[in-house]
Structure 1
Amino acid sequence: MQRRTFIQNTGLLTAALSATGPGLLATSQPETVAKNKLPRWKGFNLLDFFSPDPSKSRRATEEDHLKWMQDWGFDFVRLPMAYPYYLSFDRSRNITPDEVYKIDQQAVDRIDRLVSLAHKHNLHVSLNLHRAPGYCINAGFNEPYNLWTDQAALDAFCFHWAMWAKRYKNVSSQKISFDLLNEPSMRADMNDQLSHRSSVPGATYRRVAQAASNAIRKENPKHLIIADGNDTGSSVIPEITDLDIAQSCRGYTPGIISHYKAPWANKDPDHLPEPKWPGQVGDKYLSKAMLETFYQPWIELVNKGVGVHCGECGCWNKTPHDVFLAWFGDVLDILSSHQIGFALWEFIGDFGILDSGRTDVAYEDWHGHKLDRKLLDLIRKA
């Protein structure tokens, strides 16, 4: 499966490819490494509940997959969920605001079962609303309103988080946490993938995050809450640093490496400069210094006492494998040196360690799957 149609990487590509210079902020003087408030979790995104339509879901994660993760030393899974997945409504037409509240208990039970299996194998579970009422980074499901501008959408958003918080109120905070919203941005038309996108205004982001966190903490005062960075996960959110909410960055910079030839992220995917790492790509020189500059605001956030985790990272399967590993090694080195954990997108699939479909990998047979041993070894030692 392609790394989700919802990665519209215009912002990431622009930010990454415009970064120049030697990364003086990160390297001009010795740096004192602060202790990240979050554990340095390492693991994977699992896409069982990623589709708004349960009939189009990915093949379910098996218990053996979770056992392999545990055996390989991983301790974290993130579950990006589309809220319509666990609703009961007439899917032959667009959803109505009233139907956003119609919970399908059988679908919720399926989510519960995966959470329980993950806990059985000592994996922390981060529940994430990939699609929330009124917002998703990708189109493809008609939202009846806009989370950033409509109170009805915010009320529904808080309802969903209150439900999940109550459901897991008796589960240890060491085992489960709540990631509010996947990759926020301000889109002019919530149902038009190509409509103009910009940053969510800081005050607006704060209002939404605070409302949802209050709904969660009413049920679950001690559980961790995480907010994905602004600008589709790429930018720190200074407006919420006083709210006791951790923040989640991304490991997709520069997009010309992570999403090389990806048709959902490039206007002309067949005519891109050959990726190199490090090296001159188009009119930019790509190097670890670029990454140090990009991640410096996140490192400063850790130093200010705000917990940081990288909720998604990885590379689509068209980037040459040696380039991918060289780049990703630098990404993981920067994150790990500042005690920032990460979750690969995904476990099985185009971005994963199993069955990625790369044409330049000598795969190892692993219980009927094709294992990218070099990638596995890289992330295990990070």
Structure 2
Amino acid sequence: MNTSDSRRDFLKKSALLGTGLSLAGSASLPAFAEVAKSKNKLPAWKGFNLLDFFSHDPSGGRRTKPEYVKWIADWGFDFVRIPISYPSYLDIDRSRPILPEELLNFDESRLKKVDELVQRCLDQGLHVSLNLHRAPGFCINAGFIEPYNLWKDQEALDAFCAHWEMWAMRYKGISKKKLSFDLVNEPYQRLDPNDQHSPGGPVDMLDYHRVAEAALDTIKSVKKSRLVIADGNGGGGTAMPELADLDLAQSCRGYHPFPISHYKAGWVYKDPESVPPVDWPLMQGERVLGIDNIREYYAPWKALVDQGIGVHCGECGCYNETPHDVFLSWFGDVLTVLKENGIGFGIWEFSGAFGVMNSGRKDVEYEDWYGEKLDRKFLELLRAQI
């Protein structure tokens, strides 16, 4: 595949595809004013992930109802992160693995659906962080056969940069106060990149630096002022001082300790019902994990903030099998520590198993909210941080 020619062809066609969104919606200036209150160079945005394009199959994502976006803004939140699986906006045959020559088959009709959600959020004054949850050659969830490895193959890196070039051009007219780019979700290197259960660990930092720098340069060549964010290594949790020489903010996670946040999660445990009960503080052998342990966990991220690198928690929350009182007690401590360091958050998700709406918990007395099931206690815990 001659990716250089493919990218040139794409750039020639881009003018015909339209420029996407204009400079729309009111700026979320109050969030930027918060920067002055802490050392964190990033605003302490607070909000949710919206999963409309999370699946590689366009029919497999969540549906964000228009009223959801309005409620997010009305309740005082100012941020949404939109994780996107790149095949969801391609014109491809989804009955078989994607072919190398299909990696840039952009489908304008599907891209416009992303535009519509972005515009809806901007219209409500929300900052939008656009994230490639599945990028050419990598997804932490695997489950979709990729022809290349983002961390090792130049073909994957060329395609990765071409996708970010497309988004950068499409949204060139939108201010960095309203829109940021989150390069790739939760970098992780598996022995078999296409097998979700294959063992692995953090991406080699030389590889991550090379990939991040190439994408950053591509984006900045379109709009120099664009705010760009890199997710923490090793699945999002590891701070990266090795990227300090790049003009990148960084995104941490709010899932520590994992036995609390992902209690009995079927994609984590082979036998969820065998997982022992949890409480907070959490007993691990003779060790007791409480808020001080959370502070220790975020110490490397605090060091980045102190170094002048912007940090935001792009994902956080708790699966619906964790007892509700344990979840709220633990997550209250997580939010406290994030606030101590001027770090905002994006809950995974708004409506669903981790959300404030329709989470399916068995031990919650939900409030009926215009036909939706609202976890009022969780919502109020979040709103207390605003």
Decide: shared fold, TM above 0.5.
Answer: yes
Q: Distance in 1 between matches of 2:168 and 2:65?
A: 25
Q: Distance in 2 between matches of 1:202 and 1:367?
A: 48
Question: Structure 1 stretch 266-275 or stretch 359-368: which is displaced more?
Answer: 266-275
1:40 Cα deviation after fit:
0.5
Q: Distance in 1 between matches of 2:192 and 2:50?
A: 28
Aligned to 2:207: 204
Aligned to 1:144: 147
5 Å-filtered alignment, 1:128-139, equals 128-139=131-142
1:103 Cα deviation after fit:
0.1
Q: Matched residue of 2:283: which SS?
A: strand
Q: Matched residue of 2:176: which SS?
A: coil
Aligned to 2:184: 181
Could you tell me which of 98, 113, 116 is aligned with 2:101? 98
5 Å-filtered alignment, 1:293-304, equals 293-304=296-307
Aligned to 1:37: 41
Q: Distance in 1 between matches of 2:77 and 2:251?
A: 18
Q: Say if 1:34 and 1:302, in contact at 8 Å, map to a contact too.
A: no
Structure 1 vs Structure 2 CA RMSD: 1.1
- Flag structure 1 segments of 5+ consecutive residues without an equivalent: 1-32
Q: Say if 1:79 and 1:127, in contact at 8 Å, map to a contact too.
A: yes
Deviation sequence 1:281-310 (CA, Å, 0-9, x none): 455422111111110000111000000000
Instruction: Percent identity, please.
Output: 58
5 Å-filtered alignment, 1:138-287, equals 138-287=141-290
Which fold has the larger relative contact order, with Cα–Cα distance below 8 Å and residues 6 or more apart in sequence? 1
Deviation sequence 1:248-295 (CA, Å, 0-9, x none): 000001111000011211243222221111142455422111111110
* 1:326 lines up with 2:329 in the alignment: yes
Q: Distance in 2 between matches of 1:245 and 1:127?
A: 15
* 1:72 lines up with 2:75 in the alignment: yes
1:56 Cα deviation after fit:
2.1
Aligned to 1:381: 384
Q: Matched residue of 2:235: which SS?
A: helix
Aligned to 1:305: 308
* 1:52 lines up with 2:56 in the alignment: yes
Q: Say if 1:273 and 1:281, in contact at 8 Å, map to a contact too.
A: no
Q: Distance in 1 between matches of 2:143 and 2:257?
A: 26
Could you tell me which of 347, 361, 365 is aligned with 2:368? 365
1:194 Cα deviation after fit:
1.5
Return the letter of the residue paired with 1:300. A
Aligned to 2:12: none
- Flag structure 2 segments of 5+ consecutive residues without an equivalent: 1-36
- Normalising by the residue count of structure 2, what TM-score does the alignment of the two structures yield? 0.89
1:34 Cα deviation after fit:
5.1
Q: Say if 1:259 and 1:319, in contact at 8 Å, map to a contact too.
A: yes
Could you tell me which of 315, 318, 322 is aligned with 2:318? 315
Q: Matched residue of 1:329: which SS?
A: helix
Deviation sequence 1:118-152 (CA, Å, 0-9, x none): 00000000000000000000122111110000000
